[in-house]
Amino acid sequence: MNVLNVGSGPAPWYPEEYSDWGKISLDIDPNVGADLCIDAMKIDCLAPNQFEAVFCSHNLEHYEFHEVPSVLKGILHVLKPFGHVSIAVPNLLAVMRKVVAYNLDLSDVYYTAPCGPITYHDVVFGYGPKIASGNQYSAHRCGFSKLSLSQILEKSGFQKVLVTEIDTDLHAFGYKLP
């Protein structure tokens, strides 16, 4: 079985359930060394029905909201029947609730990653230091709530959709049924 990691970045990470799978990485940035260097909006140029799963972690928010259906339809295109997509994106409503509930500022540190501190501003708008260094691929151009992510997956052709909230992230599964 094969999984495609869309928006893999320089060090592709896969959840444990894909540990024994064949892994293919895809990223728009030619500097990250992905197996496939293409824009996720052009996934439909790949052969259809070739992956049992697509893993897309913190990538959809890097597109304009009106572009997300193109990315999702491309993902559906490369999935085999009964395949699934696993998606993680920031939950903007949860981020806003947390900032308001704890009287936080967008410049406050949310957590520290290997690359350094991540602020609430970074979660909403993209990782500031990377964007400042000229990497515009890191900018966030849209955001999601549980409802909006469910709706866009369904409108893009996924027949069975499940979206859960985990802290300030949304995790979604969409299935391609024959």
Tokens representing residue 154 in the block: 């369904």
Q: Which fold has domain 2-90+139-175?
A: Rossmann fold (3.40.50)
pLDDT by position in tens, the chain (length 178): 999 999 999 889 999 999 999 999 999 999 999 999 999 999 999 999 999 999 999 999 999 999 999 999 999 999 999 999 999 999 999 999 999 999 999 999 999 998 899 999 999 999 999 999 999 999 999 999 999 999 999 999 999 999 999 999 999 999 999 8
Between CA 125 and CA 66 the distance in angstroms is 17
- Say what the pTM is: 0.94
